[in-house]
Structure 1
């Protein structure tokens, strides 16, 4: 064969890949449509296949083009990479790799770097080259200049298969974009979109890290959906799963007959809770694979941020293990030093390469410095989910109001550590599955109290320091738990209570975005001041949010079923404070009986540490926001 049998990879030393520094491996490994020069036949087009399998005796590429019998690939000397150029093949060719291990056994594997794959239960990799032309230049320019900590962020978490069952990427590009725009969210967060075989895993057990799931269409269809969201001014976050991968025989596990991507020792290499393998973060090629994958979604799909799943499971060697079931680090400790180094590496690299993106940790422990810069000894994330706030406030929500006064600290404790990290307040899919009940059904007593309490709770959440995330269906009070096999119960939004809650969410987002006092200083103690944190007898909390220009929003929330009339509060300035939100309003299916006639007047009389005071009415199981702009 006179043409380049490696399809352009001849002479490539893969030094970066082996040192952990190749952060774009999708450009070299996997399948690529290429053109080569042949001495006899001139210019040839076809597909170059390349796969890393350093411990294999023999590797073949199989597909319909060779009747699945196999064409032998050749080892590029000194690289562990096998490659082959097959002329005449085109886009959407199906293929797999057959790998013979040292013992002579054959293993059929999908391509770890495939850009597309068959829909489960089929699993062949598919040759795919994007032809998409983006139209989001304005968005991308704004992204590069953005300062996320000082900007509004309310996130709508979506499981694409369950939002409206059966919809494609292209259909969602119309319907989801329209809905999220109407609701006023700044971002959507997609549960993992990488290819996965088991639908009830929701994408958290990935077999195709570079393959958008084909359940909803082709990769360029996903690009179109993201492009449309960007054109509507909506950012896109995607869940990313570098913590573990499933044991399917055709996946990454024991890829060349050895523990290539995972640890050999099950005390280091297996999550028994999840039945999965753990990546070997100390292997440079694995680091190249994972960092490249993170960058791939951001560069090739214009994803604006990655929410990194299960970070706690990566940080601790004894995560969900008993004594003797884990291997200490070199200093005898429980911290996974290799995983910590990897997280710092990926965060530093992505923020340097793509300014303005978001790296978000789902981290459930008190590991220090998750959102501190790497140079200051932190992990380098931009944000962390505030799981403590979530757990405490949901415990409070589930209490009968008569008992809430005894657990008042569940609502106030989060301010003790509010500025230790850059937080997102999450009410995610995890809180409405597996017997935990929907948000509506967590709240005790009758429907009037359930809906009123939820309206007050979400107002409390939207005005608390930190960004916000809410799972789909919570915005209209869906009663059943999340079930990925069916659509959300959209029809209930026409009913009393449900429709009012949905309209409240729209107004929460709109009012929130209009008032920088609610988000500009989220990460600065100067942006928050308690009015009264110590009123458990009324189940009431109140505070003032401020920006650096002297604008203020006072937020008072009453978790008691009794109205508060002539309730005295302190305020930072005297004058007229406009009521900009009242969760008891008829538009939200509230009673409309308890409000402040649009405004309250604060007198220049000291109250506690404030120079002014006012008397307000706060509805039962309700919340009000009052605005005072700088003169």
Structure 2
């Protein structure tokens, strides 16, 4: 997924920082040749306030494309807000969508920060889920009509196009067909997931992590569960003054510290477990923010006055993969996780049956397709034979183990522990059960390899 820089100054231009328009066309062609789809994160929810290269004072007035007065300015970001009820603005934005498809053959769009445009308070309000919050005087109906028009026109002109909504408020009908009163998006992003993980890592002691909250957040709004896309970590966690997960987990570990190995093991374990459960528990797609696959140690920061226009953080440290150690271990796990999805088709399957959530033992277990996933988030307690219910009697083979040495783990499980056979003891409301060894801060995926007929 490619993205405009925020906030965009020219919606019709590829940034020259990355090359020429022809370079971008070659990139799209190469991606399509590899069987990949290319999406743009399109920023139609606000615009740069820049009057030199942006749309500010474009015709010499202050309201050519934007609302006048306070309504024309984002309350917190200093950006300009489009007046979606203006015919010329609609022509400009709708043409922009069509242009990227016809000129560059992109496959779809993720519409950035819809809450900024849907509400006159720009989404900076508390939401309880009450329907009134989505229908009151703070809703910009012109913005809603623009989104409906955008989806209607895009899908009519380009039937295979995919549109994705990024809306933290889960506006009702976001992914419902327009004919049924919805906004017409194909999918939406569950932004709550990355915010939850970031909050846990920075603010909540490991012993106090709530398994119930993890499950409820990852499953998201039940109305959209089948249309949900997941990030473990997105750009909000590593730009705008934030920190990447790896920076939180590893950034304060000092060379020579007596607890260095212990802290590295904790960080490496949680990094892998967060990715595994986020990808496999819910939704139809898993999105990776660049560098998360190998635990990028620093945030992204573009040159700006606050850093004396430095480029030192405007990069990704791919060179870290040239050396043995933490980042290569995390990358190896990520590759095997992708391989597991490729082999078992996890994401296209029906959403999982989550049958075990224990806040005391800090264990979560669920079944998706032929795979049983088990997570032990407890920071200290390990379990030699933890009983988990399964419906199908038989032999289960361990196919992914976050604690393997090649992933930076301790390798506590022996070869003879990789195969487990069910017993007829009922557990978790299911007919059969497995006893599995669960070291602390580890996760496992088992596959039913042989069915026992009783």
Structure 2: 5+ residue stretches without partners: 126-134, 251-261, 303-310
| Residue pairs, 1:17-32, within 5 angstroms | none
Name the TM-score, length of structure 1 as normaliser.
0.62
* SS across alignment from 2:11: strand
| Residue pairs, 1:298-317, within 5 angstroms | 298-317=101-120
Q: What RMSD, in angstroms, separates the aligned Cα atoms of the two structures?
A: 2.3
For 1:514 and 1:356, locate their aligned partners in 2 and report how far apart those are by CA, in whole Å: 25
Structure 1: 5+ residue stretches without partners: 1-188, 193-202, 323-330, 547-551
More strand by share: 1
For 1:215 and 1:435, locate their aligned partners in 2 and report how far apart those are by CA, in whole Å: 22
Partner in structure 1 of residue 390 of structure 2:
571
Q: Please, which of 395, 412, 426 is the counterpart of residue 593 of structure 1?
A: 412
* SS across alignment from 1:254: coil
- How far residue 258 of structure 1 moved from its aligned partner, in angstroms, is 3.5
For 2:70 and 2:405, locate their aligned partners in 1 and report how far apart those are by CA, in whole Å: 58
Q: Please, which of 438, 458, 476 is the counterpart of residue 244 of structure 2?
A: 438
* SS across alignment from 1:420: helix
- How far residue 435 of structure 1 moved from its aligned partner, in angstroms, is 3.9
Q: Please, which of 512, 516, 530 is the counterpart of residue 341 of structure 2?
A: 512
- How far residue 433 of structure 1 moved from its aligned partner, in angstroms, is 2.8
- How far residue 216 of structure 1 moved from its aligned partner, in angstroms, is 2.5
Residues 312-321 or 373-382, more deviating:
312-321
Deviations 1:346-397 (A, max 9, x none): 0122122222322111111132121112122221111111122222233334
For 1:345 and 1:629, locate their aligned partners in 2 and report how far apart those are by CA, in whole Å: 49
Q: Please, which of 187, 190, 209 is the counterpart of residue 2 of structure 2?
A: 190
| Residue pairs, 1:457-472, within 5 angstroms | 457-466=274-283, 467-472=285-290
Measured at CA, do residues 261 and 577 of structure 1 come closer, stay the same or move farther in structure 2, by a change above 3 Å?
farther
Partner in structure 1 of residue 87 of structure 2:
284
Conserved? CA contact 2:218–2:278, under 8 Å: no
Measured at CA, do residues 389 and 282 of structure 1 come closer, stay the same or move farther in structure 2, by a change above 3 Å?
same
For 1:554 and 1:332, locate their aligned partners in 2 and report how far apart those are by CA, in whole Å: 44
Q: Quick check: 1:477 aligned with 2:306?
A: no
Q: Please, which of 398, 406, 426 is the counterpart of residue 606 of structure 1?
A: 426
* SS across alignment from 1:242: coil
- How far residue 415 of structure 1 moved from its aligned partner, in angstroms, is 5.9
- How far residue 409 of structure 1 moved from its aligned partner, in angstroms, is 2.7
Conserved? CA contact 2:115–2:123, under 8 Å: no
| Residue pairs, 1:87-166, within 5 angstroms | none
In our comparison, the structure showing a higher alpha carbon Rg is: 1
Conserved? CA contact 1:261–1:279, under 8 Å: no
Q: Quick check: 1:337 aligned with 2:116?
A: no
Conserved? CA contact 1:393–1:410, under 8 Å: no
Q: Quick check: 1:489 aligned with 2:317?
A: yes
| Residue pairs, 1:298-377, within 5 angstroms | 298-319=101-122, 333-377=137-181
Report the count of equivalent residues: 412
Conserved? CA contact 2:72–2:82, under 8 Å: yes
Partner in structure 2 of residue 231 of structure 1:
33
Measured at CA, do residues 630 and 390 of structure 1 come closer, stay the same or move farther in structure 2, by a change above 3 Å?
farther
- How far residue 236 of structure 1 moved from its aligned partner, in angstroms, is 1.2
Q: Quick check: 1:423 aligned with 2:228?
A: yes
Measured at CA, do residues 482 and 528 of structure 1 come closer, stay the same or move farther in structure 2, by a change above 3 Å?
same
For 1:478 and 1:376, locate their aligned partners in 2 and report how far apart those are by CA, in whole Å: 43
Partner in structure 2 of residue 541 of structure 1:
364
Measured at CA, do residues 483 and 545 of structure 1 come closer, stay the same or move farther in structure 2, by a change above 3 Å?
same
* SS across alignment from 2:105: coil
More helix by share: 2
For 1:256 and 1:539, locate their aligned partners in 2 and report how far apart those are by CA, in whole Å: 60
For 2:406 and 2:76, locate their aligned partners in 1 and report how far apart those are by CA, in whole Å: 46
* SS across alignment from 2:164: strand
- How far residue 418 of structure 1 moved from its aligned partner, in angstroms, is 4.3
Conserved? CA contact 2:372–2:445, under 8 Å: yes
Q: Please, which of 391, 397, 402 is the counterpart of residue 207 of structure 2?
A: 402
Partner in structure 2 of residue 620 of structure 1:
440
For 2:404 and 2:124, locate their aligned partners in 1 and report how far apart those are by CA, in whole Å: 51
Name the TM-score, length of structure 2 as normaliser.
0.84
Q: Quick check: 1:220 aligned with 2:32?
A: no
For 1:621 and 1:270, locate their aligned partners in 2 and report how far apart those are by CA, in whole Å: 46
Conserved? CA contact 1:503–1:588, under 8 Å: yes
